[in-house]
Structure 1
Amino acid sequence: MTSQAPPTGPAYPEKIDGAVLKIAGVVVLGAIMSILDITVVSVALPTFQDVFDATYATVAWTMTAYTLALATVIPLTGWAADRFGTKRLYLAALFLFTAGSVLCAIATSVEMLIAFRVLQGLGGGMLMPLGMTILTRAAGPDRIGRLMAVLGIPMLLGPITGPILGGWLIDIASWHWIFLINLPIGIAALVYSLRVLPKDEPSTTEPFDFLGMLLLSPGLALFLFGVSSIAEGGEGASFGPRVWISGTLGVLLIITFVLHALRAEKPLIDLRLFKNRRLTIATVSMFVFVIAFMGAGLLFPSYFLQVRGETTLMAGLLIAPQGLGAMVTMPIAGILADKVPIGRTVPVALLVMASGFFVFTQVGADTSYLVLCSALFVMGLGMGGTMMPIMTSALKSLTNSEVARGSTLVNIVQQIGGSIGTAVLAVVLTNQLTSTPSGPVEPLEFMADGFGATFTVAFVLILLALIPVAFLPRKKERSHLLDDEDGATATPVMMH
């Protein structure tokens, strides 16, 4: 049942109680499964080529199809959470993801594997936005920073532990186990969710924006399909018909959706939330940051594999200091996000991250591992104080009824930014490695120079993120209230 928070005191207690921590555990389990499966498959692509006798471009769709499914289902999550209730939808998403994982493990052809990865992605795409919605409602706006820090751990460690776990499972067992490992985790998450997640009442009168769905979901899928196809040729950037036709159609559908959403009474994604200045600034900051962060995340293991000749497992271990650095600062950043305006902390964290990243712009074929691992650790320190506080700032500005749609909006921004960043840096790296050397140079040094130039592009993107970050709030605001357009009245947070 919905009731209004008392105006004389906070709607939630100051300390995080055990019930909220149990809910956070459920969300983290779901986040771990969803995020790990984005990266764990990357190390299995050569194995898929051998097992299914397929080209690299074909098996790469085992990753692309999963990403496209995520982008397609995320816009539906906000409406579905209101219509069916977050608990029911979360349980359905867990079941769909787990079932998709088992089907992937028993696939007998690459086409079957790609199809089952789509099914898996449809479940995985709902887990993160639903998890953020559940956490925000359980913790309340004044404690969300600390709990979002908990959720942020799998978000930052996924790209690190995924390759390590994937390489280890393939070495000691077979490729099937990178999917089968989700079965016991999924069953545990389902049982845990049934016992811990609170019941919530669905909104039976909430209309569904069918036109918005027909515009936005295919638009996002076509746009990301085009972007992800740019570097597929292997000989530099390839802007063939598949890229520009699908990309153009995707952009046109997205633009049409924007025009529709601004006029519709109940749009699939409520773009009118961008009237909230705090949400807009946080979302733009997140978008620019994720382009650099997600794009560069794939470069680090590639450098150790291609230039330094390390095994997949060792490459994963070498980038582990990044995750360790994030684990140090993320809990601190979560506490600070509830106490100190993030406009005073995030710029500092972003500069720390940039200082560590600068080392990789100067990377060579024999750069000391001690130097590189130290730089990754410093980068992790900065990342731990950047991503989740920005996301927290966005969600804390919303009322309870807006949280589901707001978290969906933030997740779409993350997904699009990550896909663009990965595609752009892949194109830059491919062009660098396939270009003609200007003079006599050792092959490994030439490759290292190519990685260094690509890291420089990512470094510039990180610096560009400082521009929107500079506009983040620098004064303490009442996070449990949302001002209207005139800044004169406020809407109390609603709680179940």
Structure 2
Amino acid sequence: MSAQATSAARSEEPFSIRKILGPLAAIIIGIFMVVLDGTAVNVALPGLLQEFNTTYQVVSWTVTGYALAQAAVIPLAGWLSDRFGAKQVFLVSVFLFTVGSLLCALATSVETLIIFRIVQGVGGGMVLPVAMAFIYRLSPPEKVGAVMGMMGIPILLAPALGPVLAGYLVDYVSWKWLFLINIPIGAFGVYLGIRSLPRIERQAVAALDKLGFLLAPIAFAGLSYGVSEGATSWTASKTIIGIVVGAVALILFVIVELRRKDPLLELRVFRSMDFTKGIVVQWISQIALFGTMFLVPLFLQQAQHYTAFDTGLIMLPQAIAAGLFMPIGGMLYDKIGARPLVFVGMLIVTIAAYILSHVDASSGKMMIMGPLALLGAGMGMSMMPLNTHLMQSAPRDLVSRVTSLTNAAQQVMTSFAVAGLATILAKRMVFYGPTAKSELEAYSLSFGDTFLILTFIAVFGAILGLMLRKPAPIAGEEGGKQPEMMMHVG
């Protein structure tokens, strides 16, 4: 059957999520593994420190190398998907991540572990942008919110489950199982993907933008590295070098891309004010999400002396609430659009951040778990409607380039969230240190001030959410025409 005939046949049938459960499951497995691993290894650092008898500066590169590899390859995901097909790129990425996991488990030194984590990052970096574009093209326009909501569950669930799983494995089994557990899951994901993922017809793409191909990894990896190092010191030479190299490469990249007829990343979408407002709100939500995931475990372990495993359990309500509200937000998006959901979601995040700003060393578990659940609900309600809104602000044939662009920017903003909030926390500790009755009190006050700043950032996000408009239909795309797919799955 031809692609056109298959597409026509599909359009005559009523859509049901059950019909795409196979592809959806394959995509969710890939996303869940990658996102889970990104947070789980952080908990294992003390164990790796002892295992390899090394320094924290060296072992932290197991996290930094993974993040930089992701930042470097994310901008390439869109072009590779258009050129070789989203199915092929997704499967190769999951396979590479799985192989990288096996190599990590077999690592005999910290140096080889760092190298194998980079292999993991190269595979994992392309999974999310390709998956988002895949799901968007797989769904009819009137159901895209519901399907994206289902896909979004692992994006918010995995970061909170990562510390719980890692804490248990590190405390009671072995750090190697952080990686070994990925092998059967990844193998099943690849098998399911081969069997169920449809072949999206390849785009007619121009030759690779070679200069953009060289500049993009330097720009995004350089900025991610420089900003993440800023958490330690903004004046250190490696911080300055990373930011300067990344910024110069980014400026050159923007100049080159705007002059290209067929750029690597489609930066012209920023001409749409609706897209620009949407991506700013997305950045704010990233700061709130990853800032909380950085601050709360730090507070629980250093101020309240919980173990890594207990800390993960306390943060679990955030993941559960996010998982519950994510599909609700997706279904509501199809009915009422992004604006009310983003506004209400960011308003809930604001309330949660404000409550957390009043937490101190004497606060009980419920005082922390309650606002974390609120935060998860707010993020779950707003995140995927916002992502869907961004993709619908661009022409459908550029969706893969837009998801690469938004994910590359998110990688930098995640580093900025952690580094910026770490700097604020450190400065408030210096401010309160001389007058506080104890170090514990200084820590509690500093933690509260940092979350208060996060509250004001979330308020700004809610205001911007009110300014979002429904994306105008793209010329030639009225009627919600779907991209053609070859539905044989061999």
TM range (shorter): over 0.9
Match of 2:403 in 1: 407
Q: Which amino acid aligns with 1:495?
A: E
Distance 1:483 1:205 in 2: 20
Q: Could you say what secondary structure the match of 2:261 adopts? A: coil
- Aligned match of 2:441 in 441, 445, 463? 445
Distance 2:158 2:235 in 1: 31
Q: Which amino acid aligns with 2:16?
A: I
State the shift of 1:260 in Å. Answer: 0.8
State the shift of 1:466 in Å. Answer: 2.3
Say if 1:4 and 1:465 are closer, same or farther in 2 by CA, change over 3 A. farther
Q: Which amino acid aligns with 1:370?
A: M
Q: Could you say what secondary structure the match of 1:143 adopts? A: helix
1:247-266 maps to which residues of 2 (within 5 A)?
247-266=243-262
Residues 1:158 and 2:158 aligned together: yes
Residues 1:345 and 2:341 aligned together: yes
Q: Which amino acid aligns with 1:423?
A: A
Residues 1:364 and 2:360 aligned together: yes
Distance 1:422 1:179 in 2: 24
Match of 1:482 in 2: 474
2:44 and 2:175 in contact (8 A); partners too: yes
Match of 2:484 in 1: 495
- Aligned match of 2:351 in 335, 352, 355? 355
Residues 1:146 and 2:146 aligned together: yes
1:53-64 maps to which residues of 2 (within 5 A)?
53-64=53-64
Gapped runs of 5+ residues in structure 2?
A: 486-490
Deviations 1:251-279 (A, max 9, x none): 01101111111110111101122234433
2:200 and 2:484 in contact (8 A); partners too: no
Residues 1:285 and 2:277 aligned together: no
State the shift of 1:64 in Å. Answer: 1.1
Residues 1:71 and 2:67 aligned together: no
Q: Could you say what secondary structure the match of 2:200 adopts? A: coil
**Identical columns (%):** 35
Say if 1:285 and 1:14 are closer, same or farther in 2 by CA, change over 3 A. farther
Distance 1:334 1:12 in 2: 23
2:266 and 2:398 in contact (8 A); partners too: no
What is the alpha-carbon root mean square deviation over aligned residues? 2.4
Distance 2:455 2:192 in 1: 41
Say if 1:17 and 1:243 are closer, same or farther in 2 by CA, change over 3 A. closer
1:72 and 1:220 in contact (8 A); partners too: yes
Q: Which amino acid aligns with 2:282?
A: M
Match of 2:211 in 1: 211
Match of 1:307 in 2: 303
Distance 1:90 1:55 in 2: 36
Distance 1:434 1:40 in 2: 30
Say if 1:399 and 1:29 are closer, same or farther in 2 by CA, change over 3 A. same
Match of 1:104 in 2: 104
Q: Could you say what secondary structure the match of 2:474 adopts? A: strand
Say if 1:215 and 1:12 are closer, same or farther in 2 by CA, change over 3 A. farther
Distance 2:271 2:7 in 1: 26
Distance 1:167 1:176 in 2: 13
Gapped runs of 5+ residues in structure 1?
A: none
State the shift of 1:288 in Å. Answer: 2.2
Q: Could you say what secondary structure the match of 1:482 adopts? A: coil
Match of 2:270 in 1: 274
Q: Which amino acid aligns with 2:57?
A: A
| Structure 1 stretch displaced more, 41-50 or 373-382 | 373-382
Deviations 1:20-73 (A, max 9, x none): 122111110000011001100011010111111122122111111111111100
State the shift of 1:111 in Å. Answer: 1.3
Q: Could you say what secondary structure the match of 2:369 adopts? A: helix
| Structure 1 stretch displaced more, 390-399 or 126-135 | 390-399
Residues 1:428 and 2:412 aligned together: no
Q: Which amino acid aligns with 2:339?
A: G
Distance 2:395 2:263 in 1: 18
Match of 1:458 in 2: 454
| Structure 1 stretch displaced more, 58-67 or 436-445 | 436-445
Residues 1:200 and 2:196 aligned together: no
- Aligned match of 1:296 in 292, 301, 306? 292
State the shift of 1:296 in Å. Answer: 2.0
State the shift of 1:326 in Å. Answer: 1.6
Match of 1:326 in 2: 322
Say if 1:489 and 1:33 are closer, same or farther in 2 by CA, change over 3 A. closer
Distance 1:324 1:289 in 2: 18
Match of 1:170 in 2: 170
The total of aligned residue pairs comes to 484
Say if 1:434 and 1:177 are closer, same or farther in 2 by CA, change over 3 A. farther
1:482 and 1:490 in contact (8 A); partners too: no
Q: Which amino acid aligns with 1:332?
A: I
Deviations 1:173-203 (A, max 9, x none): 1111101111001110011001000123334
2:212 and 2:256 in contact (8 A); partners too: yes
Match of 2:393 in 1: 397
Distance 2:267 2:3 in 1: 25
State the shift of 1:280 in Å. Answer: 2.7
Distance 1:272 1:174 in 2: 48
State the shift of 1:113 in Å. Answer: 1.0
Distance 2:40 2:29 in 1: 16
TM score, norm. by length of structure 2 = 0.93
Q: Which has the higher helix share?
A: 2
Distance 1:157 1:491 in 2: 31
State the shift of 1:12 in Å. Answer: 7.6
1:106-125 maps to which residues of 2 (within 5 A)?
106-125=106-125
